[in-house]
Copies of this chain bind each other. A is one copy, B any other.
């Protein structure tokens, strides 16, 4: 597929950064190969809506092959990269071996449970579409079992949902769970009108949404309290069990659903040792190149830039993807790569129940305006006009009726051996 005369650029990982790099290199003279283990790109900002049965998983999953079809110089390869030899410029996947002239590492990160006993086994992460689908199945299973069990203790445990981490994901998931438990489920499970659900955010830091400015943090905290969400700050989870969890205050909370939204660790294939931070991020030059291997770029979650602390957000990865592609085009023409500068557009977070917060430059937005802005911005960035149309119609119907429209437990059969407590698959 690769013509011998044109340089071969390999991109590993089709997240926001990798896909953007591939798209930005479309139409150039280079042969580009994008590798990912999944055959789709996930629009991660709306994962929590898949987990709470608002959206169907396919609508935020973009088939990569079709997405890249219009550029004949960009190819997609489904596979798992097992090893990279930076010296020999060679990649070994589970299917084949590839040589590259230039390489873009955009392998991303995964949930890190920080060694908390039981967390890996019993807590639900929320970083991939598979995570979101597994969590949705578990939530539907909990409510169904709560409606059937005659045991009040078990029912209370099945109706307690704990969110570990008070960042944007934790807050958004909490709000979405409020909508699910107060508005949607009581229509199908009338017993919920008598039996309240318990929602809990456990935050190790002193405040929710630490990356937002003070007034918005206070606003979010108050609104969540009004919605009935318990918030425990300066608290850590020390152990997770199938039917309860333990806090560092010594308190035991009966709870069958622990959602883990904090802590990430870098994912990198095997290969020569690269200079990494204590958190495992790769030190790169301001141009996003590796010092030892100037033909290798790294972007997204896995990167540590000198004198810039950019967080693991989608806009950062997208801007770095565009920049890496730009620098690669410069390199191909014999020019020097330029340093990357992040343009900070602002931050938004959904609280749910028609509330949201946002900060754009000096401007602080809260309430219905924040909620609307958050929806509109996410909606604009969803890839594909077809998904956008379906999501818009679904949101309209969902907000008007309060119904959750994606409650099917596909791929999940209740087998006779199913115990009350489901561990994440």
CB-CB contacts below 8 Å: A388-425 with B: 389-390, 393, 397, 403, 405-411, 413-416, 418
Is the beta-carbon distance between A39 and B140 smaller than 8 angstroms? yes
Is the beta-carbon distance between B140 and A407 smaller than 8 angstroms? no
Is the beta-carbon distance between A416 and B57 smaller than 8 angstroms? no
Is the beta-carbon distance between B188 and A410 smaller than 8 angstroms? no
CB-CB contacts below 8 Å: A158-211 with B: 187-189
How long is the Cα–Cα vector from A69 to B414 in the complex, in angstroms? 22
How long is the Cα–Cα vector from A405 to B386 in the complex, in angstroms? 10
Is the beta-carbon distance between A133 and B415 smaller than 8 angstroms? no
Is the beta-carbon distance between A61 and B129 smaller than 8 angstroms? no
A129 contact set on B, CB distance < 8 A: 410
How long is the Cα–Cα vector from A198 to B406 in the complex, in angstroms? 37
In the complex, whether A247 has a CB less than 8 A from a CB of chain B is no
A416 contacts which of B82, B397, B406, B416 (Cβ < 8 Å)? Answer: B82
Which B-chain residue is minimally distant from A59 (CB atoms)? B56
CB-CB contacts below 8 Å: A49-77 with B: 56-58, 61-63, 65-66, 69, 77
In the complex, whether A293 has a CB less than 8 A from a CB of chain B is no
Q: Contact residue range for chain A? A: 35 or more
In the complex, whether A96 has a CB less than 8 A from a CB of chain B is yes
Q: Hey, what's the 0/1 contact readout for A90-105 against B, CB within 8 Å counting as 1?
A: 0000111000000000
A367 CB to nearest chain B CB (Å): 30
Q: Hey, what's the 0/1 contact readout for A114-137 against B, CB within 8 Å counting as 1?
A: 000000000000000110010000
In the complex, whether A38 has a CB less than 8 A from a CB of chain B is yes
A79 CB to nearest chain B CB (Å): 7
A130 contact set on B, CB distance < 8 A: 410-411, 413
How long is the Cα–Cα vector from A393 to B407 in the complex, in angstroms? 22
How long is the Cα–Cα vector from A377 to B319 in the complex, in angstroms? 49
A44 CB to nearest chain B CB (Å): 15
A138 CB to nearest chain B CB (Å): 13
In the complex, whether A309 has a CB less than 8 A from a CB of chain B is no
A133 contacts which of B40, B80, B410 (Cβ < 8 Å)? Answer: B410
A334 CB to nearest chain B CB (Å): 32
A411 contact set on B, CB distance < 8 A: 130, 133, 411
A95 contact set on B, CB distance < 8 A: 145, 148
A58 contact set on B, CB distance < 8 A: 56, 58, 406, 408, 410
In the complex, whether A248 has a CB less than 8 A from a CB of chain B is no
A40 contacts which of B40, B393, B410 (Cβ < 8 Å)? Answer: B410
Q: Hey, what's the 0/1 contact readout for A230-263 against B, CB within 8 Å counting as 1?
A: 0000000000000000000000000000000000
A65 contacts which of B62, B77, B407 (Cβ < 8 Å)? Answer: B407
Is the beta-carbon distance between A80 and B38 smaller than 8 angstroms? no
Chain A to chain B: the 7 pairs with minimum beta-carbon distance, closest first: A40-B408, A61-B408, A63-B407, A65-B188, A56-B58, A78-B144, A94-B416
- Name A's B-contacting residues (CB within 8 A): 37-40, 56-58, 61-63, 65-66, 69, 77-80, 82, 94-96, 129-130, 133, 140, 144-145, 148, 187-189, 386, 389-390, 393, 397, 403, 405-411, 413-416, 418
Given contacts A38-B413, A39-B407, A63-B407, 11 further A-B pairs with CB under 8 A are: A39-B144, A56-B56, A57-B410, A58-B58, A58-B406, A62-B408, A66-B407, A77-B148, A129-B410, A133-B411, A389-B393
